[in-house]
Amino acid sequence: MISVVASSFKGGTGKTSACLHIASALSLFHKKKCLSVDFDPQANLTSSLGFSTDELDTMVPVLQDEKSIRDVIKRSGIDYLDVICANTYLDQIEATAPLVSDPYAHERLRDALKDIADDYDFCFIDIPPSLNWLCRSAFYASDYSLICAIPEPFSVLAMQRLQKYHDAINKNHQIDVVGVLLSFWDERGSINDALVKGIEMAFEGKIFESKVRRDKAIPKAVLDGQPVFITEKGSRASEDYQRLADEFMTRIERFEATAKRGEYVESKR
């Protein structure tokens, strides 16, 4: 199983929507078995898949050693796509027992996902737009990060912080940036070039060619509790996210092939 954390240190960048739609596209169009983990107390990914934000089967009892991860996995209603919901009890969970006395508590999510590694092709983790314990745990549990940004200055400024965070995590756990996704994209934007240049300074060569244009189909899909591929098949968002999923798969396959070649070379030494 390949784990991917959808990350951004600024809210409103389309992170949850990207997590939902890439996982859905891989399930629907590539027949990949995916698990979406909502690791954000706001539980937006949970509601985006039609579940209540009062769900008690979340990662909370798993992290607290009260349930196994298989006990909290739910069917999404989309073939090949399962979900682990979230609720507000995730907030400040690191201050609860037994996590508060565990110096390696941030590795609990990673350890739990190892138990189901053979059950899925991909796991996508949605996290809060902050540098909190949940974010750190998700990074340690992931092989790749999917960075989300929008074409406006504050989103670009957050890239520098995110780059430093990646560098810090990589000192103890290898995590590669699979790509930077630009949402709410407008080809006519007057400062597009300057913003793209700013992102390139932090994550050179990582911007996805596939960009997600602004589309009213996205908030409508959230309200309907289903991805745009089901609610608005012919929409711009549906086309954009399907192209993005294709590009995502191409990049992942290239990353994985490179890693395998590296392992082969290392084994021959």
- Position 184 scores a pLDDT of 86
CA distance from start to end of the chain: 27
- Position 240 scores a pLDDT of 96
**Is 208:179 a contact under the CB 8 Å cutoff?**
yes
For 21-42, how does the pLDDT look when each residue is reduced to its tens digit (9 = 90+)? 999 999 999 999 999 999 999 9
- Position 221 scores a pLDDT of 87
Mean pLDDT of successive 10-residue stretches along the chain, which has 269 residues = 91 88 96 98 94 92 97 96 97 95 96 97 94 94 94 78 91 95 80 82 93 90 90 92 97 87 44
Handedness of CA 5, 6, 7, 10 (dihedral sign): negative
- AA identity, residue 180: V
Where are the chain's structural domains?
2-268
- Position 155 scores a pLDDT of 72
**Is 178:251 a contact under the CB 8 Å cutoff?**
yes
Query: Rounded distance, CA 24 to CA 166, Å?
Result: 26
For 205-215, how does the pLDDT look when each residue is reduced to its tens digit (9 = 90+)? 999 999 999 89
Query: Rounded distance, CA 39 to CA 36, Å?
Result: 9
The CATH number given to 2-268 is: 3.40.50.300
Strand partners, 78: 81
- Position 263 scores a pLDDT of 53
